[in-house]
A and B are shown apart, each in its own frame.
Chain A
Amino acid sequence: MYPRPIPEESPRARLFYMAGVALVLLLWLLPLCAVMLTSIKSTEEIMAGAYWTWPQRFSLIDNYTAVFTQTAMARFFLNSLIITVPSVILVLILSTLTGFVLARYRFPGNWLVFALFVGGNFLPAQIMMIPVRDLMVSLGLYDTFWALIIFHTAFQTGFATLFMRNFISALPDELFQAARAEGASPAQTLIHVVAPLMRPALAALAILTFTFVWNDYFWAVVLTQSDTVKPVTAGLNNLRGEWTSAWNIVAAATIVVAIPPVTMFFLMQRHFIAGLTMGAVKG
């Protein structure tokens, strides 16, 4: 262990340590706490300019109900789900296939193909904006869910391939030798040998991809226009323009946007961290 563990027999050292950590954590999350505080304040208080005082009247339910009933956030929320869930599923399927081949079959250009997946995934998305937008317009997909689903699936496949290739490479060689000795075809190997071991990788990749796609803002503004298609991130920014002085409502909407990824993160924290570090560290 490094740094040296704080000794268990010294409760005072532990207390000091925990107090220090709590202080740093409070400072670290202060901006977020402030938004949470604003989101439960009543409109009267906001109007009066009392942003930072403790709320006199809690309007938690009022504000969050308002977000869903008086704004288009419910629609945006649904749109985000319609875009994110299929993208995640498609990415998982495609990257399992590409990762399996790149990890287990030696062929000329193997490393080049892998490098293109990884390299392409690192490019700032703005570089491909003009052709991708043009492509979606000419396919008649501009301002539809499909435009975002197709783009996100394509883009995330890059990172996901890196991830899956590294995961499948790390599986024990004996499994694959045994499969070959038994005369299993590539498809059989994938279904009977690889697939049963994929659960942790799939879980990690699912939560990562979900977060990336859900949080996207750039493509939301580039590929969509109407409220019926727009995901929450773009919707939130519009809301801010419309509800300029109702900070409590905008704050509540901000929290609502953050809830799905944050919940997923807390529920599947270990997978998230493992995914992020494996994707990056072993790559």
Chain B
Amino acid sequence: MTSVWRRQLRRISPFLFILPGALLFGTVILLACVETVYISFHDWDGMGAMRWIGFGNYAELIADPQFYVSLKNNLIWLALFMLAPPLGLALALLVNQQIAGMRIVKSLFFMPLVLASVTVGLVFGWVYDPNFGLLALIVQAFGGEPPALLSDENTVTYAIVLAGLWPQVAFCMVLFLAGLNNLSSDLIGAGRVDGARGLAMFRHVVLPQLTQVSFIALAVSVIGALRSFDMIAVMTAGGPFGSSTVLAYQMYEQSIFSYRFGYGAAIATVLFVIMAAFITWYLLMMNRMERRG
């Protein structure tokens, strides 16, 4: 009797182990995403009853100029964040030397990565301040008129993205340093014997060995770009006149400040679709790499 019971317990215990984590993640994270799609077909103020309106929110979204501003800004974030991997690689190449003191130097380079995005936002808010900011100081030193980057509709998004790049470049740098440490010294040595130098060495011997790391760095940068929210909230709150919003921020604003949860959910769904397409591609690539070994 006890041995039968014990055998059964043995058989189901892997299932029991995975249950708490899967249940929590499934309900709080995954189910919530599905629910967002469901809510997006409703008119809802977040408290009262939901009213089904079909594609009403999406019809409104297509005609909403603010939606295109957000979409355009998301694209700017995405495009500029593609600079993070090459810049991270450049910094990694710069510091990949075994000299006394380099460890501390590397950790100092990594620092922006562990700062909260609120901190990064505040720090760059000070840098950009037209009255006393670091940037104003530098521009004045050259006799120029200090620009008010964060209150100019044409520059505001670029200024925020630049702040966002700071920790992102550090992240890519960490990844590439790990990649550089895993380079095959045989291949590098063989390349050197064959007389490969400079750019040729980098392109034909080093870069091919960094394919996987580059892929990861690119992926985390895409995700980082689409996640942008904190920095916008802290630095401009979407302003001036909504010119620096992204989909994530517009959704937050519509729901929390305007009590338009259905409309907010529709914006979130658009973001979800973009992200799901990217994640599916990423997982397929990852699976292929894992099979290849």
Contact = CB atoms under 8 A, between A and B. Distances in A.
B28 A155 contact: yes
B119 A258 contact: yes
Interface string A160-199: 0100000000000000000000000111001000000000
Interface in A131-185: 131-132, 134-135, 150-151, 153-155, 157-158, 161, 185
A277 B174 contact: yes
B143 interface: no
A283 B286 contact: yes
A52 B108 contact: no
Given A126-B229, A128-B29, A218-B229, A25 B109 contact: yes
A128 B14 contact: no
Contact of B97 (A5, A101, A124, A211): A5
Given A34-B126, A94-B20, A158 B10 contact: no
Interface string B241-278: 00000011001100110000100110011011001100
Interface in A92-132: 94-95, 97-98, 100-102, 105, 107, 111, 113, 115-132
Interface in A223-280: 233-234, 236-237, 240, 247, 250-251, 254, 257-258, 261-262, 264-266, 269, 272-273, 276-277, 280
A258 B18 contact: no
B219 to A, nearest CB: 8
Interface string B153-196: 00000000000001000010011011110010100100000000
- Secondary structure call for the B interface: helix
A1 interface: yes
Interface residues of B, number: 99
Given A261-B114, A281-B213, A2 B252 contact: no
B107 A269 contact: yes
B71 to A, nearest CB: 14
Bin chain A's interface residue count.
35 or more
A280 B220 contact: yes
Contacts of B99: 6, 14, 17-18
From B32, B107, B122, B216, residue with most partner A Cβ within 10 Å: B32
A16 interface: no
14 contacts: A18-B101, A21-B95, A52-B137, A94-B24, A116-B26, A117-B25, A121-B29, A127-B269, A127-B275, A155-B29, A215-B116, A236-B118, A237-B234, A276-B171
List 9 tightest A-B contacts by C-beta distance, closest first. A215-B116, A128-B32, A154-B28, A277-B178, A98-B21, A131-B32, A94-B21, A131-B35, A126-B248
Interface of A: 1-3, 5-6, 14, 17-18, 20-22, 24-25, 28-32, 34-35, 38, 49, 51-52, 94-95, 97-98, 100-102, 105, 107, 111, 113, 115-132, 134-135, 150-151, 153-155, 157-158, 161, 185-187, 190, 211, 214-218, 221-222, 233-234, 236-237, 240, 247, 250-251, 254, 257-258, 261-262, 264-266, 269, 272-273, 276-277, 280-281, 283
